[in-house]
């Protein structure tokens, strides 16, 4: 019996090491923006508001403007989505070559509060996606972005989210092209897009 | 019982372009108080405002109160190493001779526990408490969800 206890302890220790490594992998180098020259292809597999799984392959041939956020975010997210809406309006006949996507980093609450009503209030073209915990984490890692739940007793439901607030541009063949830092004026984003379309 | 009082308050300040009016308390000028429309009352609302201190002594915004939110708080959006977070701000400094803006991407009032949907074109009062100048109540104009601020230069022309 003693051996069994000892073995259990060993297994527990091994488990702890795995957890520690996993945590280290998750927190290490959380937000280093990808370098422009380091081309990569972000992937995602996330549910839309109707529950259909959408992946990057669904949008092949289009430029994607991708933003990670959450709908209870009062400042950063509405500001960025407003700029995206402005860009989509100003693109005119080129608008159908660009797909704006809002990926929720707070998917359970956002599905409850209503994702489509939120994104369409900014612009009907914006597609809201909210996966499960694992899918969301995988998408964020694929885009090299960081998000974290932060406990805050004063916030609604007792928590808020911190997240990378940039806007990511993916090319028609799926390559990561660039990011627009938070606060980039809509006109700058528009000019960049026009030069590519 | 709450709704008629709230409605009365809202109708009192429900005038167009109110974000372009200027209010003063002591040496402080309050302008451009605006908010964004919300979908329902479950998500927090936001408050933006500009404060100009024309005096020679520093002051600070230390609190906000409004009948439309049970728990309004001052927050600051901070982007550190590419990650945005929203820590509480105990107060917002209003230094002598300067204008401080609660504006998108910086300081803002976070209106938690909304008691009503904030509808575009309506308004609500907010009471700003300053450390030295005291309290002043100003009307806040609710703009659209896509708004990035009131367009005062062209208002009412």
Is A154 found in the same domain as A109? yes
- Given A79, A85, A166, which is nearest B104 (Cβ)? A79
Give CA separation, A39 vs A133, A171, B5, in Å.
Answer: 26, 11, 58
- Given B79, B112, B145, which is nearest A156 (Cβ)? B112
Confidence of residue B14 (pLDDT cuts 50, 70, 90): very low
Q: Which residues of A124-147 are buried (b: 16+ CB within 10 A; e: fewer)?
A: ebbbbbbbeeebbebbbebbbbbb
Q: What is the layout of strands, in order, in the sheet containing A176-180?
A: A127-129, A98-104, A63-69, A167-170, A176-180
**B39 pLDDT above the threshold of 50:** yes
Is A83 found in the same domain as A15? no
B124: domain range? 2-139
Query: What confidence score (pLDDT) does residue B18 get?
Result: 79
Query: What confidence score (pLDDT) does residue B118 get?
Result: 97
Share of chain B above pLDDT 70, in %: 86
| Number of structural domains in chain A | 2
Structure-block tokens of residue B13: 């300040």
pLDDT (tens place) for every residue of chain A, 197 residues total: 455 666 666 566 666 565 565 555 444 444 444 444 467 899 999 999 999 999 999 999 999 999 999 999 989 999 999 999 999 999 999 999 999 999 999 999 999 999 999 999 999 999 999 999 999 999 999 999 899 999 988 888 999 999 989 999 999 999 999 999 999 999 999 999 999 99
A-chain CB neighbours of B43 within 8 Å are 71-72, 74, 113, 156
A128 lies within 8 A of chain B by CB: no
| CB contact (8 A) between residue B112 and residue A117 | no
Model pLDDT for residues B48-76, shown as the tens digit of each residue? 999 999 999 999 999 999 999 999 999 99
How crowded is the C-beta side of A137, counted as CA atoms within 13 Å?
Answer: 10
In a domain, A35, yes or no: no
Look-up: residue for tokens 């001052």?
A: B74
Is A45 found in the same domain as A81? yes
Report the distance separating Cα A169 and Cα A118, nearest Å. Answer: 22
A147: domain range? 40-196
**Sign of CA pseudo-dihedral B152, A79, B35, B138:** negative
A154 lies within 8 A of chain B by CB: yes
State the CB neighbour count (10 A cutoff) for residue A23: 10
| Number of structural domains in chain B | 1
Model pLDDT for residues B123-146, shown as the tens digit of each residue? 999 999 999 999 999 999 999 998
Model pLDDT for residues B81-123, shown as the tens digit of each residue? 888 888 889 899 999 999 999 999 899 999 999 999 999 999 9
The nearest CA of chain B is from the CA of A59 a distance in Å of 25
H or E stretch at A29: none
State the CB neighbour count (10 A cutoff) for residue A186: 19
The arithmetic mean of pLDDT across residues B6-32, rounded, is: 75
| CB contact (8 A) between residue A150 and residue B88 | no
Q: Are strands B78-80 and B83-85 parallel, antiparallel or unpaired?
A: antiparallel
CATH assignment of the domain containing B96: 2.60.40.1890
Is A4 found in the same domain as A70? no
Structure-block tokens of residue A63: 């430029």
Query: What confidence score (pLDDT) does residue B155 get?
Result: 44
Is A110 found in the same domain as A26? no
With an 8 Å Cβ cutoff, the interface of chain B facing chain A consists of 36-37, 39-40, 42-46, 71, 73, 75, 77, 79, 81-86, 88, 104-105, 108, 110-113, 145-148
């Amino acid at each position: 019996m003693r051996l069994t206890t000892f073995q259990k302890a060993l297994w527990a220790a091994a488990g702890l090491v795995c957890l520690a490594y996993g945590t280290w992998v998750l927190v290490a180098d959380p937000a280093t923006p990808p370098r422009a020259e380091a081309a990569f292809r972000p992937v995602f597999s996330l549910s839309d508001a109707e529950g259909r799984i959408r992946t990057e392959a669904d949008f092949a041939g289009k430029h994607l403007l991708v933003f990670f956020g959450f709908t209870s975010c009062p400042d950063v997210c509405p500001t960025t989505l407003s700029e995206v809406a402005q860009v989509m309006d100003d693109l005119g006949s080129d608008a159908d070559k660009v797909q704006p996507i809002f990926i929720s980093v707070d998917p359970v609450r956002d599905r409850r509060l209503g994702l489509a009503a939120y994104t369409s209030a900014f612009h009907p073209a914006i597609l809201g996606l909210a996966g499960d915990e694992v899918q969301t984490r995988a998408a964020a890692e694929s885009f090299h972005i960081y998000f974290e739940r932060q406990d805050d007793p004063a916030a609604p439901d007792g928590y808020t989210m911190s997240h990378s607030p940039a806007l990511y541009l993916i090319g028609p063949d799926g390559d990561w092209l660039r990011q627009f830092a938070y606060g980039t004026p809509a006109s700058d984003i528009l000019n960049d897009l026009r030069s590519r379309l | 019982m709450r709704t008629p009082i709230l409605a009365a308050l809202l109708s009192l300040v429900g005038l167009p372009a109110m974000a372009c009016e200027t209010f003063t308390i002591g040496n402080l000028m309050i302008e451009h108080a605006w908010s964004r429309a919300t979908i329902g009352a479950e998500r927090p609302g936001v408050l933006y405002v500009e404060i100009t201190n024309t005096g020679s002594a520093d002051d600070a915004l230390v609190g906000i109160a409004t009948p439309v939110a049970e728990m309004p708080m001052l927050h600051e959006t901070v982007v550190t190493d590419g990650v945005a977070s929203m820590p509480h701000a105990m107060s917002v400094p209003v230094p002598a001779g300067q204008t401080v803006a609660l504006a998108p991407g910086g300081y803002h009032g976070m209106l938690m526990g909304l008691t009503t949907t904030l509808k575009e074109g309506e308004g609500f009062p907010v009471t700003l408490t300053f450390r030295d100048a005291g309290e002043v109540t100003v009307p806040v104009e609710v703009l659209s969800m896509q708004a990035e601020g009131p367009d005062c230069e062209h208002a009412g022309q």
